[in-house]
Structure 1
Amino acid sequence: MAYRQQLLPMEKVFRDPVHDYIYIQHQVILDLINTSEFQRLRRIKQLGTTSLTFHGAEHSRFGHCLGVYEITRRICDNFERNYPTQAPGDGGWDDHERLVALCAALLHDIGHGPYSHTFEHIFHTDHEALTVQILTSPETEVNQVLQQVSPDFPAQVAAVIQKTYPNPQVVQMISSQIDADRMDYLLRDSYFTGTNYGNFDLTRILRVMKPYQGGITFAMEGMHAVEDYIVSRFQMYMQVYFHPVSRSMEVILDRLLERANDLYQSHAVDAEATPVMLLPFFNNDFTLHDYLRLDDGVLNTYFSHWRDSRDQILADLATRFLDRRPLKSARVDETTQPLIPALQKLIEQAGFDAHYYTDTNDSYDLPYDAYDPKMKKPRTQIELQQKDGSLLELSTVSDLVRAITGKVSGDQRFFFPKEMLSENAESDLFKPIYQEFQQYILNDRLVVPH
């Protein structure tokens, strides 16, 4: 029996709080789960610093990847049962595509690093490029498993991740405005953060999802389930992903790694606190092996060492991060943006290095945006299929979605040390500085003082 078609003698299951059971039916999927690169995802939190705001959000990228696999498996089952291809080019589902879709779903996030987005920003890594490298490099266990399907199979799975795979149905299952990735993380993040914003009717959406020649569409009668998904996504971004405390902890993490890097570059790092496993990234000369050694625990161990650093900024930032002492923030707009240099000057006078203790942080997202080919990265629009087979773009028939289409949601914030809002300065020296600073802050906003 060809490895491509090899099914397990009896399907295996993972018990999952979101999907109940995750069903593993193919030998290749089980083998991929058991690779060292995939097991590493157990040691990387899905939401990074968000667990410092929502304490239940300790879930890992391992669980999320299994969830994306499971939703993709259900989509394939639905397509094969209800919309199988009858003739080439008829827009039906060819179940020979199942394995590449399942493997791409399982492995789509395998290139994420510890505290991934902050780490990427400091060290200029790219998790999607690293995912492709993990899939295609002969030195990885993942590649060796994929090679057993066929010599070109790793490149096929990588093409799905890169959105260059020739079948748009497979690509859109994994990456579109309503895909297995987004559907799992909304449900999973909602569950583990203890919020209800991300809940939507997954069963109904999968039921009305249909393949067609240009990709994936949704039956017109499923419009309200799709609307519910769009609103859930909007609410999760506003209430969870853009939460100012989570963003504050990201700023501290960003500055902590930056300070460690700056000290290394200036040869001022303590010998006993040298982060050996981060040196390839400080030197901008890392291998895939170097990258795969890292996880959240490795970084947290270095942060614990840095608490005792002779460098006061490094030690203080490490302590703030580990002990969850977030920066405060205030919303900024075009009229108050010019005030920031004056605030940074006051922060310097109070004894803080403004470069390491302040930041202006944007968080903006479009909850739904109709397809615009002129965009730098045009989004795949959500199509609804009528009884006669014709397609309508979602926002043209949904008043609710039209109301939020193209609306940018989020805010811009100026982050600064909490001490600047202190009523009781440690010494009379700082009291007038604090009082002057506080004139600029009113009800979570930056204001022009009277």
Structure 2
Amino acid sequence: MAYAEEKLLEEKVFKDPVHRYVHVRDRVIWDLIGTKEFQRLRRIKQLGTTYLTFHGAEHSRFNHSLGVYEIVRRIVDDVFAGRAGWNHDERLLSLSAALLHDLGHGPFSHSFEKVFQLDHEYFTQAIILGDTEVNQVLRKAAPDFPKKVAEVIAKTYKNKLVVSLISSQIDADRMDYLQRDAYFTGVSYGHFDMERILRVMRPKEDQIVIKKSGMHAVEDYIMSRYQMYWQVYFHPVTRSAEVILTKILHRAKFLYERHYSFKSNPVHFYSVFKEDITLEDYIKLDESIILYYFQMWQEEDDPVLRDLCARFMNRNLFKYVEFDPAKEYKKLTELYKLFEKAEIDPEYYLVVDSSSDLPYDFYRPGEEEERMPIQLLMRNNEIRELSRESEIVDAISGKRRTDHKLYYPMDFLRDDSTHKETKQKIRMLLEIENANDESK
């Protein structure tokens, strides 16, 4: 029997808190899970710094990747199998891409990427195509199989139906992380009737369509996503932790470039600081490595690096106020000068952070991020875009919501042992003299 078609003698299952069980019968999938590159995902949290806000959010990219695989397995084996419009030959490709779609995420994913201008999708493809255990497994299935998997993840694969399983406005990736993140954070926002959505999915030409009878379940899914973004993903306390994390990495790179003598040399960061990171170096990075340095850097001579690391490790986070940089730029300039006068480096201790989300959009060709809309399959076999049928979705379509916060160290501003008058002015400008401690 060809390796690509080989089944395990006995089905393997992973007990899962969201899907109850994750089922593995394909030898290729089982071997991919066992590779060191996939096992690395156990050491990268799915929600980055969110555990500092919601203490249960300790789940990993490994958990999530298995969940996405399981949803796609249910779709292709239980819903699409035998239907016109679905090619069974694409089954293993779909399962492999679902399992490996987050393979290239780095530690504290998005913050780390932003500081060092890295792209997890690039590294996902590099791991799949490079000299790795994952590549060896995929090549055993077929010489061109790694290339096909990489193309699905890059959204360039010829069969857009396969791509849409893990990358669309209603895909297995989102359906897993909304439910999984809701479960581990303990909130109720991310729950929706996934079983209903799966039952009404249909393969149609180069896309997934949803039977009209399932429209209300899709509405619920979209509103769940909207609530999760604003109540969990963009939570201001989580963003405070991300601000500090980002500033630690900036400060460490700044010191390295100025030949600062670290007590704990950041050897794992050298190629990142030089902007010449190899795939081998990247794979070695995980959150245990990052947190080791943050722990050690609390003993550094540099006061900024020392303080920021202590804040992150001990959850002494920045406080925040609502702030509109477009309207309050003069205030920001004044605050910047006052921070400098008070000998509090505004580069690290006065930070505007913005979050923005577009919960649903119809197709706008030519835009930087072209969003394929959710299509409904009507009873007469006509296909109609979701917002044309749903008043709820129509009300939020194309409407981007943006939120701005200004972060600062309250403890520094409360300490009147130095620069008392200047700090009083800062507090007056920030209107925090009687502010509640809202970050706890």
- Structure 2 counterparts to residues 393-412 of structure 1, below 5 A: 393-412=385-404
Structure 2 residue 12 is the aligned partner of structure 1 residue 12: yes
Aligned position for 1:71:
71
Question: Deviation string for 1:52-103 (max 9, x for gaps)?
Answer: 010000000000000000000011023334x523xxxxxx111111100000
For residues 261 and 246 of structure 2, the distance between their equivalents in structure 1, rounded to whole angstroms, comes to 17
TM normalised by structure 1 equals 0.94
- Structure 2 counterparts to residues 189-208 of structure 1, below 5 A: 189-208=181-200
Aligned position for 1:133:
126
Aligned position for 1:326:
317
Aligned position for 1:100:
93
Structure 2 residue 303 is the aligned partner of structure 1 residue 312: yes
For residues 373 and 421 of structure 1, the distance between their equivalents in structure 2, rounded to whole angstroms, comes to 49
Aligned position for 1:123:
116
Structure 2 residue 420 is the aligned partner of structure 1 residue 431: yes
For residues 374 and 78 of structure 2, the distance between their equivalents in structure 1, rounded to whole angstroms, comes to 19
- Structure 2 counterparts to residues 218-237 of structure 1, below 5 A: 218-237=210-229
Cα offset for 1:264? 0.6
For residues 209 and 431 of structure 2, the distance between their equivalents in structure 1, rounded to whole angstroms, comes to 47
Letter aligned with residue 124 of structure 2: T
Contact 1:187 1:199 in 2 (8 A): yes
For residues 409 and 307 of structure 1, the distance between their equivalents in structure 2, rounded to whole angstroms, comes to 37
Contact 2:80 2:203 in 1 (8 A): no
For residues 314 and 142 of structure 1, the distance between their equivalents in structure 2, rounded to whole angstroms, comes to 37
Cα offset for 1:438? 2.2
SS of residue paired to 2:83: coil
Aligned position for 2:3:
3
For residues 194 and 112 of structure 1, the distance between their equivalents in structure 2, rounded to whole angstroms, comes to 24
Q: Any runs of at least 4 consecutive aligned residues in structure 1 with deviations exceeding 4 A, and if so which?
A: none
Q: Which moved more, 1:371-380 or 1:412-421?
A: 412-421
For residues 205 and 38 of structure 1, the distance between their equivalents in structure 2, rounded to whole angstroms, comes to 29
Cα offset for 1:9? 1.2
Cα offset for 1:325? 1.1
Letter aligned with residue 399 of structure 1: E
Letter aligned with residue 277 of structure 1: H
For residues 123 and 247 of structure 2, the distance between their equivalents in structure 1, rounded to whole angstroms, comes to 24
Gaps of 5+ in 2: 436-440
Aligned position for 1:267:
259
For residues 356 and 269 of structure 1, the distance between their equivalents in structure 2, rounded to whole angstroms, comes to 20
Report sequence identity in percent: 51
For residues 169 and 413 of structure 2, the distance between their equivalents in structure 1, rounded to whole angstroms, comes to 41
Structure 2 residue 293 is the aligned partner of structure 1 residue 294: no
Question: Deviation string for 1:289-344 (max 9, x for gaps)?
Answer: 10000100000001111000011111111101101111111222232233111112
SS of residue paired to 1:440: helix
- Structure 2 counterparts to residues 144-159 of structure 1, below 5 A: 144-159=136-151
Cα offset for 1:410? 3.4
For residues 190 and 410 of structure 1, the distance between their equivalents in structure 2, rounded to whole angstroms, comes to 22
Structure 2 residue 107 is the aligned partner of structure 1 residue 114: yes
Aligned position for 1:89:
none
Contact 2:416 2:423 in 1 (8 A): no
- Structure 2 counterparts to residues 160-171 of structure 1, below 5 A: 160-171=152-163
Contact 2:23 2:70 in 1 (8 A): yes
Structure 2 residue 359 is the aligned partner of structure 1 residue 367: yes
Cα offset for 1:426? 4.0
For residues 385 and 161 of structure 1, the distance between their equivalents in structure 2, rounded to whole angstroms, comes to 26
Contact 1:55 1:193 in 2 (8 A): yes
Aligned position for 1:88:
none
Letter aligned with residue 67 of structure 1: G
Cα offset for 1:352? 1.2
For residues 161 and 172 of structure 1, the distance between their equivalents in structure 2, rounded to whole angstroms, comes to 10
Contact 1:238 1:409 in 2 (8 A): no
Aligned with residue 217 of structure 1, among 203, 206, 209: 209
For residues 244 and 12 of structure 1, the distance between their equivalents in structure 2, rounded to whole angstroms, comes to 41
- Structure 2 counterparts to residues 51-70 of structure 1, below 5 A: 51-70=51-70
Aligned position for 1:84:
83
Cα offset for 1:442? 4.4
Structure 2 residue 302 is the aligned partner of structure 1 residue 303: no
Aligned position for 2:430:
441
Question: Deviation string for 1:232-287 (max 9, x for gaps)?
Answer: 000000100011111111110111011111111000132x3111111111111221
Letter aligned with residue 60 of structure 2: S
Contact 2:79 2:199 in 1 (8 A): no
Aligned position for 1:28:
28
For residues 124 and 343 of structure 2, the distance between their equivalents in structure 1, rounded to whole angstroms, comes to 43
Letter aligned with residue 83 of structure 2: P
Size of the alignment, in residue pairs? 433
Cα offset for 1:443? 8.1
Aligned position for 2:438:
none
Structure 2 residue 281 is the aligned partner of structure 1 residue 281: no
Letter aligned with residue 287 of structure 1: T
Contact 2:179 2:191 in 1 (8 A): yes
